Amino acid sequence: MSTCKIFQFNIELFKVTGIQRVLLDIHEALKDEYECKIVGNISYEKVNKSLSISERDYIRFHNPFLFKDSIVIIHERRLLPLMWILTHLPGLNIKCIYIHHNELYGNKRLSLFPKNIVAISDAGINNLIGYFNIPKGNITKIHNCVREKSTYIPRVRKYDSSNITILYPARINDVKRQTEIVKHLKGKLDSQIQIIFAGTGPKYEELNTLCCGDEQFKVLGFRDDIPELMQECDFMMLFSRHEGLPISLIEATQIGLPVICNSVGGNLEIIQDGINGIVVEEWDELLNTLNSLPSLTQKKIDEMSKNGRKIYERNFKFNIFKNNYIKLIDSLK
């Protein structure tokens, strides 16, 4: 193991989002090569248990001298000013890597980016260069990944066009648009289709109220078994206002689950229209696409499933992710 110290600093470890999941994947990728710790601003007891962060891997932030002579990886733009100060303090010898998870706008003056930035998608790269004027040479593109939990078994679910289940796994908020989806589709959706929402968030109660008594929309609340739920469904769906590079879409490709989504963020780097899913943009197009699902054949579903798995193996496997991060860290030592 290298003596290089790696800290990942995050101040939202009380919740589970794609950002925390990427943080954990980076920790897993680097922990055998370097001295790695996860740093938060809350006590260990308040860290979300679903993250499965061990107590020995966690440090609560009290003093910036903790980061002396280390590489600090941050995932939140709000930490950029603090890290800019720390990297410029004499004697601390801190190098910072910022992970750019999403397209961001506003607060240009407070966005004091370090020299080393990881963008997870082409959309993120374009945002950094076009809006924040970041030199292209400061940006390294590393796709998110999904780790394999067991030996891959090809998807064998039979497509029953009279009983189609669509899983929508995402934090329930304005960005993911679950309440808008129900309002646009309610009373218009083919009776053979059911949409299942898995997740929690600020719009949960409103979504639950909207779906109450309607068998075509089901609200499950928070679930930590999304891959298992995906195996029981025919499609996964995501129709967000904006995205980074959604972990849930990568999970779908990993198991060969066809996807319905729009083209925001890095979605099109995971989902190719007609190849491993269906890409739609407008509300009417979404409704028409959903209502046409009963006409799809088993052959087409199987084809999309196989293509999705190929895309996962080519771009989003953990070993690819791991090697890219090790290469980046080694370049900074």
In tens, the pLDDT along 49-77 reads 999 999 999 999 999 999 999 999 999 99
Average pLDDT, the chain: 96
Distance of CA 235 to the CA centre of its chain: 18
Could you count the other beta carbons within 10 Å of the beta carbon of residue 136?
A: 8
Strands 94-100 and 70-74: parallel
164-315 classified as CATH 3.30.465.10: no
Reported confidence tier of residue 254, pLDDT bands at 50, 70, 90: very high
Could you count the other beta carbons within 10 Å of the beta carbon of residue 129?
A: 15
* Averaged pLDDT for residues 206-222: 96
Give residue 208's pLDDT: 97
The Cα–Cα gap between 169 and 166 comes to 10
What b/e readout covers 265-293, taking b as 16+ CB neighbours within 10 angstroms? bbbbbbbbeeebbbbbeeeeebbeebbeb
* Averaged pLDDT for residues 101-127: 94
Bridge partner list, 278: 260
The Cα–Cα gap between 147 and 296 comes to 30
SS3 100: strand
Distance of CA 301 to the CA centre of its chain: 24
Name the amino acid, one letter, at 302: D
Q: How far is CA 141 from CA 100, 122, 131, in A?
A: 10, 8, 17
The residue ranges of every structural domain in the chain are 5-145+317-332, 164-315
Q: What are the residues whose beta carbons fall under 8 Å from the beta carbon of 60, sequence distance 6 or more?
A: 39, 40, 41, 42, 43, 44
The Cα–Cα gap between 302 and 181 comes to 27
Give residue 3's pLDDT: 80
Q: In what order do the strands lie in the sheet with 217-221?
A: 217-221, 193-198, 164-169, 235-238, 259-261, 277-279
Residue linked to tokens 């407008």: 282
Could you tell me which CATH class the domain 5-145+317-332 is placed in? alpha beta
Give residue 151's pLDDT: 82
